[in-house]
Each structure stands twice: as structure tokens, then as C-alpha cells.
Amino acid sequence: MIIHHSESIKSYQLFIKKPLKYSEKFTFIPIRFKKDKIYHKCIFQTPLLFTPYGIKCTQNNKNIIDITFQNIENDKSQKLFHSNLKYIYDVVYEKYKYDYIVNDFLKRTDFNDCLRLKISDNTIIFDEFKNMIDDINNYSYGNFIIELEGLWLNEDNIWFQWNLLQAKIRLPTHLKEYSFIDEIHEIREATVKEDKYEKMIKMGVPKEAVDRQKVLDSKIPPPPPPPLPNSNKLEKKSGSIPKINASDLRNVVLKKSKPISKPKIKRDPNHFEPPTIEELQSTLSRLRKTNGE
């Protein structure tokens, strides 16, 4: 039977069984809860508690973990569970206070009261999705199923034996696969592109050419060329026209213009009109040809 942290254990009777001697120095006393004439192991499910150091190994090569009441000011369930643990200690203290030094299992630390648990090979650790994990990292929150197995007597001291049976740890979220919700137009564009490439393959276009087209489609067009160095200065001068230097005209090549045919005008025979320059040039040209020039 597992006692939930929301339940008060004062309705249970704490029963201390016969001692079991392990050596000249160490004796173990099992503890049970008795309710309705039935004996139950002292197993509890904790509220969400904080472990600042995770799983650690002692000098004796034993794995342990410290769970703390770091969030007791914000969590009422921690306060109730804390009072249940204090009740267990008070019962044992009242029974043995005249014969032994009863060492408190709740130690005051920088992270509020701390309870140390022993970890065995049978301890199982889960995440929130019931997946088994191998370790508990430091600065983690989790729920724990713990057991008060009994008491150890060593000379004139009594120590409580707490075990960790199972743990459910809150882990940071990690997305292992592509998890974005794509927009509808992005899905359509991808579908259109895939249809385009499939059509190319069906039309007999070589696969290498299709792959090359995919690369070209995925490329981003180059940015526009930067403006000329002096273009900004020219634009700033409103109404100013750049001057043309003589050196700029040396490389200018003029194209030959086609002769313009003018319509013949009827002249009055009694009126003298001097010939035009074009007519004189044409007459001189004919005379040169006649004289064999």
C-alpha cells in the first residue's frame, strides 16, 4: 500500500517490530504501519519536490539522492507531507529519547529541509510520459515513491533508513524531429514544385537535369547592384547639370546622316533665286566626274 502525500498518516499506528542484529555494532529495527489490524510497509508518494544535486555516489560507492522542500512556501501539499514526516520522527523520538540519540532525518540546508534517500539497483526512474530514464540531473523537480524501511541502532545512536523505490522526473522539452506547423501556402508551393519535377521526369528529362533545376529553384536571386559612388552627391544638388569636358568628346563618333529629299518647288521664270548650297555641291560633284577626277 502506498500512502499519498495528501493523506494524513496520523490515522495509522506506527508499529516497531522486533530488532534484527547484523553485527556487534549494528542492529536493524523494521517499521510498519498498522491499520484495521493489517500491517503495511511505510511507503509514501511525495508531492513535487526539488533535488539540487541529482543522484550522487558516496565514498562507500552507494548511490543516494537528496530531495528538498525548496518550494514549501508556494506548495500546500509540501507542508502537509512535511508535517507527516515530522510526526514519524516525533513518535520514534518519544519511544527512544531516554536510551538513544535519535538523529533527525530532515536536515536543514540552503534548499530548506532535506531528506536523503538510498538508491538500490531496483530503483526505477521515469519521465512524465512514463518512459524509463537512466539518471536524475541536478536542479530537477519530481515526484518520488519512498520507503521508511526501519531504524539502525549503532552504539547509542538511532538512524532512519529511507529508500527511493521510484521517481518521476520533469525533464526539459526536447523536439527530436521537425515540428513546425507549416503555413498552407508553403505546403501548396512545395506540392506545386514536386508536381513540376515529377512532370519533368515523366516527360523524359534526365534525373541529373531535374536535380539541377531543383538547385536553381532553391537559389535566392542576387541583390541589385550598389549605386555609383557619386550618384548620391549628384542627386542631392537639385537643378545642377553635370558639365561636359572636352576629353569626353574625343571618343564620340558621329553617324553619317542620310540626305533629305526636298520636294521640287515650281519657280517663276522671271524671278531669279540663287541656288542652295546642296545644289552647288551636287553640280560640282557632277563636273568632277565629267572631267575624270
Q: For residue 141, what are the domain limits?
A: 3-169
More confident call, 197 vs 50: 50
36 located within any domain = yes
In angstroms and rounded to an integer, the radius of gyration of the C-alpha atoms of the chain is 50
Phi, psi of 208 (to 5 degrees): -65, -40
Longest CA span, the chain:
162
Within 8 A by CB and 6+ apart from 127, the residues are 133, 168, 169, 170, 171
- The model's confidence at residue 292, banded by pLDDT at 50, 70 and 90, is low
The number of distinct structural domains making up the chain is: 1
Q: What is the C-alpha separation between 169 and 146, in angstroms, rounded?
A: 14
Place of cell 522486533: 18
204 located within any domain = no
pLDDT at residue 100 tops 60: yes
pLDDT at residue 262 tops 80: no
> Each residue of 24-80: pLDDT tens digit?
999 999 999 988 888 999 999 999 999 999 999 999 899 999 999 999 999 999 999
Q: Which of 15-19, 189-193, 215-219, 230-234 has the highest mean pLDDT?
A: 15-19
17 located within any domain = yes
| Share above pLDDT 70 across residues of the chain, in percent, rounded to a whole number | 75
Q: What is the DSSP pairing of strand 38-45 with strand 3-4?
A: parallel
More confident call, 272 vs 95: 95
287 located within any domain = no
Cell numbers at residue 276, please? 542652295
218 located within any domain = no
Using CA atoms, how far residue 246 sits from 152, 249, 255, 256, in Å, is: 111, 5, 19, 22
63 located within any domain = yes
Phi, psi of 13 (to 5 degrees): -100, 125
The whole-model pTM stands at 0.62
CATH number for position 40? 2.40.50
Cβ(26)–Cβ(150) below 8 Å: no
